[in-house]
Amino acid sequence: MSAPAAGRLVLVPNGLDLGTDIEVDLADVLPEAVLQQAARLTHWVVENAKTARAFLKRVDRHVPLAQPLQALDIRELPRLRKGSATPTMPDVLPLLAPALAGHDVGLLSEAGLPAVADPGSALVDAAHGAGIEVVPLSGPSSLMLALAASGLNGQSFAFVGYLPVEATARAARLKELESISRRQHQTQIAIETPYRNAALFAALVDHLGPSTRLCVASGITLPGGRCRTRTIADWRADRAVLADKVPAVFLWLAG
């Protein structure tokens, strides 16, 4: 008897309201086709099983799940090893067993697109190595939405992730990135844990040059979300107050 055809790894987008006090209707941010795909999947790999079940309950309000929530196979990505940005291949390969047995497997991030600023990229890499088809579904990406709304250079940009928390190291990194931005006319994009947004914003305003343009995109796709681009000189004259529970993206382009 021949082995069953391999299933696919389906990258299922999530909303951008994680950790906020606002729950957005998924139908407002995800296409109907994505909700239908999510509802039919019975095998999942996720960052957090609890929040994944909450997501699936929200999906079920629009499209009934193919199986009861408690019957779904939901597996968590392994915790990161010390010093590692993503899980390693041996850590994640067993999570693809259902796909190798012929079942489609959904990969879900806590927010936005899976595998973008997200440890799920290791699972995608493992799927390619195992010959499993990877299928990305359309959904919101806070990084790309912020870039589109910023008015900064969308032809050349770099996502630099999280900056150092320690003040001296963070200041040095900002100077380095501003130099790259000026030399290459390249937009730099960074994120931070929401409760540190105010500290990162203050560091950007304090250490970037007056002519550098800084965009703060806060609460994208959420009610009251805002995207504003100004020079550092203007930000210094009128500093904003950032909410500590609202996700934000920070983008800058040296003048």
**Does residue 107 fall inside a structural domain?**
yes
* pLDDT for residue 220: 95
Question: Which of 103, 136, 169 is the endpoint of a domain?
Answer: 136
**Does residue 3 fall inside a structural domain?**
no
Residue whose token pair is 């930000």:
235
Q: Which domain holds residue 249?
A: 142-253
Task: Give the span between the Cα atoms of 56 and 67, in whole angstroms.
Answer: 11
* pLDDT for residue 242: 83
Q: How many domains does the chain have?
A: 2
Shared-domain flag, residues 112 and 180: no
**Does residue 113 fall inside a structural domain?**
yes
Q: What digits encode the pLDDT tens for the residues 103-144?
A: 999 999 999 999 998 889 999 999 999 999 999 999 999 999
Task: Give the span between the Cα atoms of 11 and 229, in whole angstroms.
Answer: 31
Token readout for 43 is 């095998």
Shared-domain flag, residues 131 and 154: no
The mean predicted confidence, pLDDT, of the chain is 93
Question: Which of 104, 136, 168 is the endpoint of a domain?
Answer: 136
DSSP structural state of residue 120? T
Shared-domain flag, residues 181 and 234: yes
Contact 114, 18 (CB under 8 A): no
At 79, the pLDDT band (50, 70, 90 cuts) reads confident
**Does residue 162 fall inside a structural domain?**
yes
Residue 82 has pLDDT above 70, yes or no: no
Token readout for 124 is 């995608």
What value does the mean pLDDT take over residues 12-24? 92
Token readout for 117 is 């600023």
* pLDDT for residue 89: 61
Residue 244 has pLDDT above 90, yes or no: no
Shared-domain flag, residues 154 and 240: yes
Question: Which of 116, 136, 156 is the endpoint of a domain?
Answer: 136
Shared-domain flag, residues 128 and 219: no
**Does residue 1 fall inside a structural domain?**
no
* pLDDT for residue 87: 63
State the number of CA atoms in the 13 A half-sphere of 107 facing the CB: 29
The 187-191 sheet, strands edge to edge: 157-161, 187-191, 248-253, 213-218, 226-231
Contact 24, 222 (CB under 8 A): yes
CATH classification of the domain holding 12? 3.40.1010.10
Q: What digits encode the pLDDT tens for the residues 152-176?
A: 999 999 999 999 999 999 999 999 9
Shared-domain flag, residues 87 and 189: no
Shared-domain flag, residues 32 and 117: yes
* pLDDT for residue 207: 97
**Does residue 2 fall inside a structural domain?**
no
Shared-domain flag, residues 204 and 116: no
At 239, the pLDDT band (50, 70, 90 cuts) reads confident
CATH classification of the domain holding 215? 3.30.950.10
